[in-house]
A and B are shown apart, each in its own frame.
Chain A
Amino acid sequence: MQPMSSVAATETLAGERQDGARFEAGTLPYLVPATALMAVLFLGPIVYSLYLAFTNLQLAGPNAIHYQFTGLTNVHRLFQDTEFTTSTKLTVIFLVGSAIVGQTMLGMALALLMRRALSPLRIVVGAVIVLAWVLPEVTAAFVWYAFSQPGGTLGAVLHQPNTNYLQTIPMWMVCIANAWRNVAFSMLMFAAALRNLPTEVLEAAELEGAGIFRRMFNVVLPMMRGTIATNLLLVTLGNLSTFTLIWVLTQGGPGDATSILPVYMYLVSFSFSDLGYGSMIGLALITLGALFSVVYVYSLRARIA
């Protein structure tokens, strides 16, 4: 071991420590392509919407080229627009129906049922549920369109062969179809979490005489609260941007019965050609999505070295 004074002398001679992390120019060629692409086509549109949302840009006509900054006009319009208010309410109904009841609760129920089922049944049913999840969204929407048409299977099962269920109970059908397509995600997530629960705790609860509901609500669910929270966040983010399924099934109709925010944004922008106001609705959605995403990142921050 070197004497203290010698080390100190070396440090004085060499100046600052040289083994700390320094910027390496050699890493740039690896990082620049991805960063540039994301800056232009991921951040770019989001930043651009901060400007477009405050203009009178149109899809066609004179305001398509010579559009201008209109201050807070679009914001005022947003707060006075009854269709926007309706659309927001519909979005909340869709979130409750599809994300919370349809995906999270049904997903949990399926994951729990899977644990008690015979293995052939479990494998077959699991495969069908995952299949519905893997299919392209257009295909999922299409099979549900067929399912709920007059003369379709749903009408036949319910002995109402001439009913078009997309006309009579559109929001129900949209929620059910979306839950049908996405429940596998929650189910797999919960199944993995259930697998990782410590068996001792469950056995102890059972030995103490806790009934099935007590075990469920006082033991299993509290231990899974982290997974449930993450699942709710991701599912909400996904549902908040559902467009394809609804567009193919109902185009937001009949009337505006299923016109949740992404659909309303599309209609305003590309059917009523009001791109400026459409950007404002988009900005509202992005802000909401960003809030959820920030909470998601916060919950996973420990995984970032």
Chain B
Amino acid sequence: MIQTAPKPSEPEGIVAVRYPRASAGGVGANLTLGLFGALFATPLLWMLLSSVDSHAGWQVRIPDLTASNYTALFNRDEMRPLLNSFYLAAVATTVTTVMAVLSAYVLSRRHVPFKRVYLLFILFASGLPVTMAIVPTYQLFVTFGWLDSLFWTSIFLAASSLPFAIWLMKNFIDAVPGELEECASIEGASSARILLRIIVPLTIPGIGVTAIVTFINAWGAFLIPLVLNSNPDDTPGSVAVYNFLSAFTTPKFGQLAAYSLIFSLPVLVLYLVMARRLSGAFSFGGSLRG
């Protein structure tokens, strides 16, 4: 599901009000927070340490350093699901972003009949998780003959992130002052030209955020490809991690940890890129993955 969120952490700001007597209460707060931090970090630590441990088990321990868990994974069979995930996420991101920019531009700048109703629907739809409609979607795909097609799966992922993407993009375009377009319009520029030459260049950070949010969602999607795509060659990384885990007879803890880590890496990198962008330029909206 996708949700609007506050700006992803701006560390300096969290302490806006500093209480004058920080001593006794402060120590307690620091200890409690430290404890929470340790609790939160432990499961993650296991993944990181086991991935470089030649004798990894389920437990956090000092690793016997090795790179073999990673090197064992660099072959066609293991990398194919990551390529599939990339295909799914890339197609979904392209379709969603282009369509969101087009419609958000018109919704932000032009007169559209029933605009308010349309926007209310967009907001409503962005709050409604697709998981709930997966069964009728499956039957719809059967009817259209779209089942087991990586392309149509990605189009469905695009459709499911479109409402939030339009909402996000509209907010970004609303923030661009209108004078430039008026000048261009008086000079005789067409609306397509105004969009391409003025709006798009000015909202590149916003377009980037929209694209990254969509990509993160599609990359991590599990239920949708699980249901709509049962062709083993088309298995995306999320389902591959699950299969890896459930097909577990001989302990390959280290490889499993390494694989999940490789799978998660693109999302982490993209989030960092976005968080840096967001903290500078925009005050209203970060995002969530599904």
Interface assignment of B159: CB less than 8 Å from any CB of chain A: yes
Chain A residues, Cβ within 8 Å of B271 = 134
Residue B128 interfacial (CB < 8 Å) = yes
Q: Give the distance to chain A from B271, nearest Cβ to Cβ, in Å.
A: 5
Is A130's CB within 8 Å of the partner chain B? yes
Q: Is the CB of A189 within 8 A of B6?
A: yes
Contacts A41-B159, A123-B11, A304-B120 given; does A134 touch B268 at CB 8 Å? yes
Answer whether residue B184 sits at the interface, using C-beta atoms and an 8 A cutoff: no
A3 to B248, CA, bound (A): 89
A142, B268: Cβ atoms closer than 8 Å = no
How many whole Å from B166's CB to the nearest CB in chain A? 6
Cross-chain contact A125 with B286 (CB below 8 angstroms): no
- Say yes or no: is B267 at the interface (Cβ < 8 Å to chain A): yes
With A125-B37, A142-B241 as given contacts, are A52 and B139 in contact (CB-CB < 8 Å)? yes
Contact across chains for B14 and A115 when beta carbons are under 8 A apart = yes
B106: which of A31, A240, A265, A266 is its contact (CB, 8 Å)?
Answer: A31
C-alpha spacing A150/B57, complex, angstroms? 10
Which chain B residues (216-234) contact chain A, with CB distance < 8 Å? 216, 219-220, 222-223, 227
Which stretch of B24-32, B71-79, B203-211 is in the interface?
A: B24-32
A64→B29 CA distance, assembly (Å): 59
Interface size, chain A (Cβ < 8 Å): 108
Known pairs A30-B105, A269-B138, A304-B116; A188 contacts B256 (CB<8 A) = no
* A128 interfacial contact with B, CB 8 Å: yes
Give how many B residues have a beta carbon under 8 Å from the other chain's beta carbons. Answer: 103
Q: Name B289's contact: one of A125, A134, A199, A248 (CB within 8 Å).
A: A134
Closest B residue by C-beta to A295: B127
Name the one of A138, A185, A300 contacting B242, with C-beta atoms under 8 angstroms. Answer: A138
* A293 is an interface residue with CB less than 8 A from chain B: yes
The chain B residue sitting closest to A57, CB to CB, is B139
Contact A122 B15 (CB under 8 A): yes
- Does A84 sit at the interface, judged by CB under 8 A? no
Is B198 interfacial (CB-CB < 8 Å)?
Answer: no
Q: Decide if A35 touches B103 in the complex (CB within 8 Å).
A: yes
A-B pairs with beta carbons under 8 A, tally: 322
Known contacts A180-B43, A188-B5; A113 and B135 CB within 8 A of each other: no
A42, A128, A262, A275 pick with most chain B CB within 10 angstroms: A42
Residues of B within 8 Å of A86, CB to CB, are none
**B7 to A, closest residue via Cβ:** A192
| A124 touching B37, Cβ below 8 Å | yes
Q: Does B44 contact A (CB under 8 A)?
A: yes
Some 21 contacts from A to B, beta carbons below 8 A apart, are A30-B106, A41-B140, A45-B137, A116-B19, A121-B34, A122-B33, A130-B8, A134-B271, A136-B222, A138-B238, A138-B242, A143-B44, A146-B58, A153-B46, A189-B6, A193-B6, A240-B132, A275-B138, A279-B139, A293-B124, A293-B128
Give 11 A-B pairs besides A34-B99, A134-B268, A304-B123 with Cβ atoms closer than 8 angstroms: A42-B160, A42-B162, A118-B30, A121-B33, A125-B40, A188-B286, A189-B6, A238-B3, A241-B1, A266-B223, A285-B132
Residues of A whose CB lies within 8 Å of any CB of B are: 21-24, 26-27, 29-31, 33-35, 37-38, 40-42, 44-46, 48-49, 52, 57, 110-111, 113-119, 121-126, 128-132, 134-139, 142-147, 149-153, 155-156, 180, 185, 188-189, 191-195, 197, 199, 202, 212, 233-234, 237-238, 240-241, 243-244, 247-248, 262, 265-266, 269-270, 275, 278-279, 282, 285-286, 289-290, 292-294, 296-297, 300-301, 304-305
